[in-house]
Amino acid sequence: MKHRFLFPLLACIALVCGGTIAAIAQETKPADPAAAAAPAAAADVPKTVELTLMQQIKLGGWIMIPIFACSVATLYLLVDGLIRITNKKKSIPDAHVTGLKNLFRTGDYVGAYKFCKNNPSPFTNVARAALSMVGEGKSAAEEAAAAEIAKENAQMQYFISYLSVIGVCTPMIGLLGTVFGMISAFATLGTSGIGDPSKLSEAIGHVLVATAAGLLIAIPAFFGYYWLRNRSAKIVHDLQDTLGTVFKKMPYEHLAGAHLGDEELYAALPNWVQPAAAEAQA
């Protein structure tokens, strides 16, 4: 009978003792190593420092000086192109087209030549070149106009082409600065050891500033170059169409041998032909 109640009693005592021991162990158990190390790890994490624009430029080093010069040149060329090229009325002024048409209607081709000379513009320059050769025939006038159009186009494209040069060179300049910075960073690493890897990554991030600056200049330079080039091509096409309309009914047969311009013509008959021509005229 005594043994019947002994086992349940021992079981109850074991449960009570086990619960007590578990509670004590829970109270005395050390904290989780990961949880304990979390504050220390958080303390070791470097704080992110926000740099100003001027500080970032200084991180690029001396290579930022030519990049800055390229940025100023890009801005100048873009503004100059916007003023000279994008304004169609400046290349083909309505007043010049109307004035030349009115003189052509009255048949005053000498006055038309003087009007073009006194009112210079890409349109009047081309028209003046064509008028100076109308006495030699339609083909000669068209060739003179085409040559002058090519000249005007070259003048428009002259400054635009520098945008393409800047777009190609600035990323290379930035890459050069980055390479020099990487050489310096790894030279320091070779002498002092790796130490803190975060410092090495920070140094690499700093030297990449030069490449980023070069790309920031190259992208708008390329965009401006292609846009201005296409715009100049459109102006040249409009110039050809307008000139073709004005010269459409030019009476070349009645102007044969006429010299409307005031430029001196250097080409004369060969000197061995001139005496024979004088005798024939006599």
Domain membership flag for residue 8: no
Range of the domain at 175: 56-253
In a domain, 203, yes or no: yes
Q: Do the domain assignments include residue 2?
A: no
The alpha carbon of 233 is separated from its chain's Cα centroid by a whole number of angstroms, namely 18
Instruction: Determine which of 129-133, 208-212, 245-249, 266-270 has the lowest per-residue pLDDT on average.
Output: 266-270
The CA angle 10-5-24, to the nearest 5 degrees, is: 20
Residue 9 forms part of a structural domain: no
Higher pLDDT, 271 or 167: 167
Count up the domains in the chain and report the number. Answer: 1
Asked if the structure places residue 161 within a domain, the reply is yes
Which pLDDT score is estimated for 176? 86
Q: Determine, yes or no, domain membership for 135.
A: yes
- Which residue is associated with the tokens 């949880």? 35
User: What pLDDT is stored for residue 89 in this prediction?
Assistant: 83
pTM beyond 0.85, yes or no:
no
Query: Cα–Cα distances in Å, from 107 out to 56, 100, 162?
Result: 68, 10, 44
In a domain, 104, yes or no: yes
**What average pLDDT does range 182-198 have in this prediction?**
64
The more confidently predicted of residues 271 and 114 is 114
pLDDT of res. 224: 93
For residue 44, pLDDT over 60 is answered with no
Instruction: Read off the pLDDT of residues 8-27 as tens digits, 9 standing for 90 and up.
Output: 444 444 443 444 434 434 44
Higher pLDDT, 111 or 197: 111
Residue 260 maps to a domain: no
